[in-house]
Chain A
Amino acid sequence: MLRSNGFVRLLLVVFLLAGLALAAWALFLDFRVRHEFEGRRFALPARIYARPLELHEGLKLKPAELEQELKALGYKDGGQGESGWYRKTGGGLEVAVRPFVFWDGSQPAKRIRVSFADARISGLRDAADAQVPLARLDPLPIGGIYPAGNEDRLLVRLSEVPPHLVRELIATEDRRYYSHFGFDLRGMARAALSSVTGHVQGGSTLTQQLVKNFFLTPERSITRKVNELIMAVLLELHYDKAEILETYLNEIYLGQDRDRAIHGVGLAAQYFFGKPVQDLTVAESALLVGMIRGPSYYDPHRNPQRALERRNLVLKLAGEVGALTPEQVKQAQGAKLGVQPRAASGTTPYPAFVQLVQRQLRRDYKDEDLRSEGLRVFTTLDPRVQAAAERALVRRIEQYDRDKRFGAPGLEGAVIVAGTQTGEVQALVGGRDPRLRGFNRALDAARPIGSLLKPAIYLTALSDPSHYTLVTPLDDSPFVWKAAGAPDWKPENYDRKSHGMVPLRTALAQSYNLSTARLGTTLGVEKVLQTAQKLGMQKMPPPYASVLLGAVDLSPLEVAQMYETIASGGFRTPLRAIREVTTAEGKPLNHYSLSVEQAFPAEPIHLLSVAMQGVVSEGTAQALKSWIPPEIAAAGKTGTTDSQRDAWFAGFTGDRLAVVWLGYDDNREAHLSGGAAAVPVWGELMAALGPEPLALSAPENIETATIDPQTGLLGKGCPGAVDLPFIKGSAPKDSAPCAGGVGGAVEAIGRAVEDAVKPLKGWLDRLFGR
């Protein structure tokens, strides 16, 4: 008796505890449902946009290039409707520009007519034939920064979703959606029955499916099924049918684009049909609804026949319950699938550039916000420049691989293109497969820069006009550099020859190592490194003399930063990949402004730029003339490292700076020189873009003198005389004999004597370890 009494009490306690536990569990689930449904909702990736194309009179742009840009933006040829199409009109284009919310406000849809002449825009008019000063196209989305699982979606409101899509969904997935309380016993029974008969039908309501996707892991167990049921009921208690349906339509997984997961009907409409969800037809909606059951199994790209049959089944089911009229079903069943060709871009077609964007963003934004807040990031990427850079690099690498046959892994490379005055990064290629998200050589490959450091040496020299001008003779004889605590350094010329006394500008143009190393040691390695830092080099390598010939490892991005300072006239302009960041709604958050800092006076930079034009016109980058005409007067510098492991070219035209690097990841000998291998990539890339000539404007304190190249003296009337710039007061005072100079004769004798003693000087240098 006592025992049975105790048993009952025990039983009571157990029931009580179990009840409490169940209540606690339900409360916990309730908390989760409410918290997650409201708090998390949807994590929206930050959206990254290319620069918008700004159309204006005089812009260098061919009709075909504009058409290509419009096609990339998804504008339809000869389309109709308010916007998003273009039409060819005798030599020009009529464009119905889409509305877009820019950083500086929203821009309504508008119609413009663009006319062309001589590969430029010659006129821009609106629908009323009034002149339009400037028209901005909507920018190309180039990727995002995604939440876990690389989920991507475009949120839509239930009111934007066509009613026929909703009716098809309910007819197919959950016929009693509007009457059940989260679960559907009849549906479950039918599902159980159908699994026996083999005619598979899901028994989950839309609410249950949403719970499953939203809160639960995909394992199959009784506990999970119970949780799903409780949570579905809780969801129905807290939210109305429309809210749940809207969330479902945004949540549902509908396909995979490489590493990007396509969620929701909004993005699926864009991805599969290239149109907003509002415009989906009965047949198109039915295809999406059909895919819910198996996005991979019914993938219309890979399994079109299967997808078509599934779509027609959805249409039939919708017809059966009266969601569609028999005519609608008949017509839709006869329609083509209508999916647009798969443009597999994954999370981004430009992973290298997006990586740079992400790094710059992480200075100001939390990673979590970037992955969830739907921020809009407006970047500097120019898709046309990017395409040219990719084409040039990939083509050449393939050719070099064929010619050299060094086997796998193949030759690699990187390219950066930036605007010379604004510092905006227009293109970035991180390797031979530009679509591959992987090691980004443009940012992360630290490679010896070889002769690319030489401009820092010459800039240091030219900053001292009392000792150095473009025609100062430099000694190109062999020498050994001895310094305490450092190994002896015995530089050699690329051609293993010594070139006697050479004018400064020739030493740079021909990239002579001996004269440059002598110059560098005379100036002081530390001083040269300071110049390199002022140009934009971030690191400070130990001041060994070998650094002078480029024994310092930099990334192509760092090199680009240094050359940008030269290209922008001595003003250090930080390279930028981002212009603006706004919230998802378009409220501005950050503007990354153009900033400049004068790092060098204009005069020595001008002299250096002229000398670097010499590299292209008569020096190691002469091969460029096969791609761009001499009038462009590009300036640059080649770089080749020991045993030709790295081939570089860094240079600029009037409008763009580009750095090209080629080499092997495992540092094998590449047997490619900067001049023979990197220059062609640079030339091909620039030629494709129609470069502006580099018209250097001489600063006030610069005068021009006519120089006899033989003596380096004033040489009016001398054969082959050239006009060269000098900082005022630093030009030679004497005339060469061919120019009838008196002093010139003395100078010539002096030069002859100097030539005679040169071997002795070299001997002395060796003796004293200079």
Chain B
Amino acid sequence: MRFAILVLLLMAGCASAPPSPSPSASSSSTTRQPAPGSPPPEGITVKTESIAVASILQSARADAASGRLANAAASIERALRIEPRNPRLWNELARVRLQQRDWAQAEATAARSNSFAGSDSELRASNADLIAQARRAQGK
């Protein structure tokens, strides 16, 4: 009896272990429902900023260039309230955090930018650079 149970259990275990890879080749039309989490039609493409955000960014960059870093950060946050998923804004904020020598925030904020960056490789590279700088500064 015990042996039988053991065998059955083993079989059950084997059944859920992945057998040899055999990706389905079927391509017939299906009644597929879009999964709730599938990417939206517009995907994650980076749109150019609205004129509102562009105008804030302009003044933020001027502030950053002249060393008014707190003002620059506050302005970018203001822009983020309008477009919270704009990866360029997060990238811009990470840049200011780096200038503020807030390394941990610079790193996390650049990672945040990456999470919205989609396939924008240029932006990803910029974020990677910011993260590397921030990590170096933290002695990581």
Once the chains are docked, how many angstroms separate the CA of A131 from the CA of B24?
Answer: 56
B62 part of interface (Cβ distance < 8 Å): no
Once the chains are docked, how many angstroms separate the CA of A602 from the CA of B115?
Answer: 7
Interface string of B17-33 (1 = CB under 8 A from A): 01111111111111111
B1 vs chain A, min Cβ distance (A): 10
With A57-B50, A695-B40, A721-B30 known as contacts, the answer to whether A753 contacts B24 (CB < 8 A) is no
Q: What residue of chain A has the Cβ atom nearest to residue B19's Cβ?
A: A743
A-B contact count (CB 8 A): 191
A746 part of interface (Cβ distance < 8 Å): yes
Which residues in chain A, 618-649, are within 8 Å of chain B measured between CB atoms? 633
**B residues in contact with A58, CB < 8 Å:** 50, 52
Once the chains are docked, how many angstroms separate the CA of A742 from the CA of B23?
Answer: 10
B105 part of interface (Cβ distance < 8 Å): yes
Once the chains are docked, how many angstroms separate the CA of A588 from the CA of B75?
Answer: 14
Checking A591, A610, A749, A761 against B15 with a beta-carbon cut-off of 8 angstroms, the contacting residue is A749
With A104-B71, A721-B30 known as contacts, the answer to whether A595 contacts B77 (CB < 8 A) is no
Interface string of A579-623 (1 = CB under 8 A from B): 110000000100101111110001000100110011011000000
Whether B37 pairs with A606 at a CB distance below 8 angstroms is yes
B26 vs chain A, min Cβ distance (A): 5
**A residues in contact with B30, CB < 8 Å:** 706, 715-718, 721
Once the chains are docked, how many angstroms separate the CA of A104 from the CA of B75?
Answer: 9
Whether A598 pairs with B52 at a CB distance below 8 angstroms is no
Once the chains are docked, how many angstroms separate the CA of A56 from the CA of B34?
Answer: 34
Residues of A in contact (CB 8 Å), total 79
With A741-B24, A750-B12 known as contacts, the answer to whether A733 contacts B37 (CB < 8 A) is no
A764 vs chain B, min Cβ distance (A): 8
**A residues in contact with B42, CB < 8 Å:** 695
**B residues in contact with A720, CB < 8 Å:** 31, 33
A688 part of interface (Cβ distance < 8 Å): no
Of B16, B36, B71, B93, chain A has the most CB atoms within 10 Å of the CB of B36
Once the chains are docked, how many angstroms separate the CA of A597 from the CA of B108?
Answer: 5
**A residues in contact with B73, CB < 8 Å:** 591, 593
Whether A56 pairs with B52 at a CB distance below 8 angstroms is yes
Once the chains are docked, how many angstroms separate the CA of A751 from the CA of B8?
Answer: 11
Whether B11 pairs with A753 at a CB distance below 8 angstroms is yes
A569 part of interface (Cβ distance < 8 Å): yes
Whether B22 pairs with A613 at a CB distance below 8 angstroms is no
Q: What residue of chain A has the Cβ atom nearest to residue B85's Cβ?
A: A421
Whether B32 pairs with A706 at a CB distance below 8 angstroms is yes
Residues of B in contact (CB 8 Å), total 62
Whether B80 pairs with A725 at a CB distance below 8 angstroms is no
Whether A571 pairs with B108 at a CB distance below 8 angstroms is yes
**B residues in contact with A757, CB < 8 Å:** 5, 8-9, 12
Checking A424, A633, A695 against B81 with a beta-carbon cut-off of 8 angstroms, the contacting residue is A424
A750 vs chain B, min Cβ distance (A): 2
Once the chains are docked, how many angstroms separate the CA of A653 from the CA of B12?
Answer: 40
Whether B74 pairs with A104 at a CB distance below 8 angstroms is yes
Whether A722 pairs with B50 at a CB distance below 8 angstroms is no
Q: What residue of chain B has the Cβ atom nearest to residue A613's Cβ?
A: B36
B118 part of interface (Cβ distance < 8 Å): yes
Once the chains are docked, how many angstroms separate the CA of A17 from the CA of B49?
Answer: 83
**A residues in contact with B36, CB < 8 Å:** 610, 613-614, 616-617, 633
**A residues in contact with B105, CB < 8 Å:** 595-596
Whether B22 pairs with A716 at a CB distance below 8 angstroms is no
A56 vs chain B, min Cβ distance (A): 3
Whether B24 pairs with A739 at a CB distance below 8 angstroms is yes
Whether B5 pairs with A593 at a CB distance below 8 angstroms is no
Of B5, B35, B42, chain A has the most CB atoms within 10 Å of the CB of B35
B32 vs chain A, min Cβ distance (A): 5
A736 vs chain B, min Cβ distance (A): 8
Whether B51 pairs with A422 at a CB distance below 8 angstroms is no
Which residues in chain A, 642-696, are within 8 Å of chain B measured between CB atoms? 655, 693, 695-696
B48 vs chain A, min Cβ distance (A): 13
**A residues in contact with B5, CB < 8 Å:** 757, 760
Whether A704 pairs with B108 at a CB distance below 8 angstroms is no
**B residues in contact with A724, CB < 8 Å:** 35, 37
**A residues in contact with B75, CB < 8 Å:** 104
B109 part of interface (Cβ distance < 8 Å): yes
Whether B118 pairs with A697 at a CB distance below 8 angstroms is yes
A413 vs chain B, min Cβ distance (A): 28
Which residues in chain A, 158-217, are within 8 Å of chain B measured between CB atoms? none
Measured CB to CB, the residues of A under 8 A from B are: 54, 56-59, 103-104, 131, 133-134, 419-422, 424, 473, 569-571, 579-580, 588, 591, 593-598, 602, 606, 609-610, 613-614, 616-617, 633, 655, 693, 695-699, 704, 706, 714-725, 732-735, 739-743, 746-747, 749-751, 753-754, 756-757, 760-761
The contact sample of 14 A-B pairs, CB cut-off 8 A, is A103-B74, A134-B52, A134-B56, A473-B16, A596-B109, A596-B112, A598-B111, A655-B84, A696-B39, A698-B38, A717-B29, A724-B37, A741-B22, A757-B8
6 extra interchain contacts, Cβ-Cβ under 8 A, other than A596-B108, A613-B36, A746-B15?
A596-B109, A596-B112, A722-B32, A723-B38, A733-B21, A735-B22
Give 5 nearest A-B pairs by CB, closest first.
A750-B15, A610-B37, A56-B52, A421-B84, A613-B36
